[in-house]
Amino acid sequence: MALQIGDKVPDFEADTSEGHIRFYDYIDGKWAILFSHPKNFTPVCTTELGYTAKLKDEFAKRGVVVMGLSVDQLTDHETWAKDIEETQGTALNFPLIADHDRKVATLYGMIHPNASDTMTVRSVFVIGPDKTLKMSLNYPASTGRNFDEILRVIDSLQLTAAHKVATPVNWKHGEDVIIVPAVSDEEAKTKFPGGWKALKPYLRIVPQPK
- Whether 45 is catalytic: yes
* Complete edge-to-edge strand list for the sheet that includes strand 165-166: 165-166, 177-179, 203-206, 197-200
Q: Which residue number, 46 or 167, has a Cβ lying nearer to ligand BEZ? A: 46
Task: Supply the Cα-derived Rg of the chain in whole angstroms.
Answer: 19
Q: Which residue number, 69 or 127, has a Cβ lying nearer to ligand BEZ? A: 69
Label residue 35 exposed, middle or buried (CB < 10 Å: 0-12, 13-18, 19+): buried
50 binds ligand BEZ (CB under 6 A): no
Q: How far is the CB of 141 from ligand BEZ (least distance, A)?
A: 3
Interface with ligand BEZ (CB under 6 A), residue from 1, 20, 25, 43: 43
Interface with ligand BEZ (CB under 6 A), residue from 4, 114, 142, 170: 142
Label residue 17 exposed, middle or buried (CB < 10 Å: 0-12, 13-18, 19+): buried
What residues numbered 75-134 form the site for ligand BEZ, per CB under 6 A?
Answer: none
Interface with ligand BEZ (CB under 6 A), residue from 65, 141, 153, 183: 141
Catalytic-role residue among 21, 45, 67, 104: 45
Interface with ligand BEZ (CB under 6 A), residue from 39, 54, 103, 191: 39
Interface with ligand BEZ (CB under 6 A), residue from 15, 18, 42, 58: 42
Q: Which residue number, 40 or 156, has a Cβ lying nearer to ligand BEZ? A: 40
CB atoms within 10 A of CB 86: 11
What residues contact residue 1 under an 8 Å CB cut-off, 6+ apart?
none
Q: Is the dihedral of CA 165, 183, 161, 128 positive or negative?
A: negative
Three-class SS state of 21: strand
Spacing of C-alpha 90 from chain mean position: 20
Q: Which residue number, 4 or 142, has a Cβ lying nearer to ligand BEZ? A: 142
Q: Kindly list the residues in this chain that would bind ligand BEZ in the complex (CB under 6 A).
A: 38-39, 42-45, 141-142
Task: Give the active site residues.
Answer: 45
